[in-house]
């Protein structure tokens, strides 16, 4: 059960207002090249530049209120879902993850903690590591830990996160790449997945990516770098596996975004030291060659496919037969009512119906799609590409209890022309335009009262184009 200290930590929400645009000449000189823009249609654009420690300090300083808030919300979810106290996750951050984090990212994580301290936020580097690793700490690490220590607990399946596609060649309007993604998660975290990071590191490629305050990686992993590589992913449902001696997924994901100049680079970096945490089907596009790829990255099984004329789609289904058999054996592959399967069918329909016509406008439309291939009707639910688990008539078990406040929380898309200028378009909230109101949901579903103070409105916003250096 959650201990008293953990309860005090996660329930003391200080939902601070975001600061105005920052170029503070009186502040620390490490902030000189950094800035954040005023909120734009739900997004906070933040530019970070310099060495790892400088980038970290800028990050922690400029986004201190958002990091403090997000960390409390993430810890609330970790402790509630796992029935373990916060000390458990701090210990994992220090003893399991930290030894396998290379120095440049240690320096960046420590820099975030230093920036937070400068703004009066009492979080240390291991709090920051927990925040960065929350997607792999539960259920990947917790399931492994309980099995390893013979702890009898309810096994929590890997949830469904995200829908995505990448297309090129004869499938797109101009023959160049188009790639798009919407982030599926619980609304309490998803409403905070609203940072646009423009990062110019002293080493590696410049990156433009979405993310959460406090994360050195995107987390839902949509981004483009200055070498013309665009990246996204969807999780592999019902995955089981974790290697405590491997490199944390959040480190590999950030490194791959920063240092990949090709699809081969990306696959190599993600496979190197793979710990099995936050196992994903990665979609990669190389704007230099108009080639796209799918990297299904299990712990024991890895499958890389690539093409210059075709598409890949992601909706949380395990595609590789060996991976499904050995690492996602509980996935209900033949159940067409399951969200991952229904959305996979819908992606295949949309790719076929729109061959030769796919562009960013089409991608935006796809991400707001409400057609349910199981019921053969248009109605928002857990089975539609624009996911609305809170509206689902049957719930999303084992992902969430019935009517859980979760689903698609934000959206991104880009094409070859935009990627060449390190640009993408993004929309906070549901792409379909439906809003979620927290008070209404909590009043109707009292079993989620524990989220009060963390769950907030998720309003839909218009698509907005962002570019590096704006």
Side-chain-side CA neighbours of 403 within 13 Å: the count stands at: 11
Start-to-end C-alpha separation, the chain:
47
Q: Residue 35: pLDDT above 80?
A: yes
- Is 127 in contact with 113 (CB distance < 8 Å)? yes
Q: State both tokens at 446.
A: 């009292």
User: Dihedral (C-alpha) 116, 81, 392, 427: value to the nearest 10 degrees?
Assistant: 20
Q: Residue 13: pLDDT above 80?
A: no
Q: Residue 16: pLDDT above 50?
A: no
Among residues 446, 237, 208, 441, the alpha carbon closest in space to that of 339 is found at: 237
pLDDT confidence of 131, banded at 50, 70, 90? Answer: very high
> Rounded to two decimals, what is the model's pTM?
0.93
Helix (H, G, I), strand (E, B), or coil: what is residue 325?
helix
pLDDT confidence of 26, banded at 50, 70, 90? Answer: low
pLDDT averaged over every residue in the chain = 92
Give the domain 163-447 fold: Penicillin V Acylase; Chain A (3.60.60)
pLDDT 10s digits, 182-241: 999 999 999 999 999 999 999 999 999 999 999 999 999 999 999 999 999 999 999 999
Query: Taking residues 334-340, what's their average pLDDT?
Result: 93
The Cα 286–Cα 209 span in angstroms is 16
Q: What is the pLDDT of residue 156?
A: 75
pLDDT 10s digits, 373-421: 999 999 999 999 999 999 875 444 444 445 689 999 999 999 999 999 9
Q: Is the peptide bond before 139 cis (omega within 30 degrees of 0)?
A: yes
pLDDT 10s digits, 101-118: 999 999 999 999 999 999
Query: Taking residues 12-32, what's their average pLDDT?
Result: 56
* Chain region(s) in the chain for CATH 3.60.60.20: 163-447
- Is 214 in contact with 63 (CB distance < 8 Å)? yes
Distances 266 to 284, 297, 376, 398, 451 between C-alpha atoms, Å: 8, 12, 38, 32, 37
């Amino acid at each position: 059960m959650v201990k008293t200290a953990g309860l005090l930590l996660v329930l003391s929400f200080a939902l601070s207002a975001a600061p105005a645009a920052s170029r503070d000449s009186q502040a620390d000189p490490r902030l000189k090249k950094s800035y954040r823009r005023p909120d734009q249609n739900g997004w906070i654009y933040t530019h970070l530049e310099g060495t790892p420690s400088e980038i970290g300090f800028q990050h922690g300083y400029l986004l201190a209120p958002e990091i403090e808030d997000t960390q409390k919300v993430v810890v609330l979810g970790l402790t509630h879902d796992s029935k373990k106290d916060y000390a458990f996750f701090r210990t994992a951050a220090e003893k399991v993850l930290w030894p396998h984090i290379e120095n440049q990212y240690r320096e960046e994580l420590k820099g975030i903690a230093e920036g937070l301290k400068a703004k009066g936020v009492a979080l240390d580097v291991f709090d920051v590591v927990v925040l960065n690793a929350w997607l792999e700490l539960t259920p990947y690490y917790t399931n492994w830990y309980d099995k390893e220590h013979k702890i009898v607990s309810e096994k929590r399946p890997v949830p469904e996160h995200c829908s995505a596609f990448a297309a090129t060649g004869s499938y797109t309007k101009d023959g160049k790449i188009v790639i798009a993604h919407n982030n599926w998660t619980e609304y309490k975290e998803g409403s905070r997945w609203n940072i646009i990071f423009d990062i110019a590191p002293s080493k590696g490629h410049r990156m433009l990516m979405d993310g959460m305050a406090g994360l050195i990686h995107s987390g839902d992993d949509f981004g483009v770098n200055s070498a013309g590589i665009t990246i996204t992913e969807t999780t592999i449902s019902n995955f089981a596996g974790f290697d405590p001696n491997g490199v944390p997924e959040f480190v590999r994901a950030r490194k791959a975004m920063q240092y990949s100049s090709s699809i081969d680079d990306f696959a190599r970096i993600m496979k190197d030291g793979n710990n099995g945490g936050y196992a994903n089907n990665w979609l990669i596009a190389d704007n230099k060659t108009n080639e796209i790829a799918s990297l299904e990255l299990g712990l024991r099984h890895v499958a890389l496919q690539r093409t210059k004329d075709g598409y890949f789609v992601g909706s949380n289904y395990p595609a590789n037969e060996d991976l499904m058999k050995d690492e996602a054996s509980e996935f209900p592959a033949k159940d067409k009512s399951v969200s991952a399967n229904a959305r996979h069918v819908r992606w295949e329909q949309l790719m076929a119906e729109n061959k030769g016509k796919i562009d960013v406008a089409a991608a935006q439309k796809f991400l707001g799609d409400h057609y349910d291939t199981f019921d053969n009707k248009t109605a928002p639910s857990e089975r539609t590409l624009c996911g609305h688990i809170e509206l689902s008539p049957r719930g999303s078990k084992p992902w969430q209890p019935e009517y859980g406040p979760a689903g698609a929380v934000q959206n991104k898309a880009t094409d070859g022309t935009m990627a060449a200028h390190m640009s993408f378009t993004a929309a906070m909230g549901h792409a379909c335009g439906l809003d979620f109101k927290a008070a209404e949901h909590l009043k109707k579903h009292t079993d989620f009262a524990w989220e009060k103070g963390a769950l907030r409105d998720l309003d839909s916003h218009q698509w907005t184009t962002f570019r590096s250096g704006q």
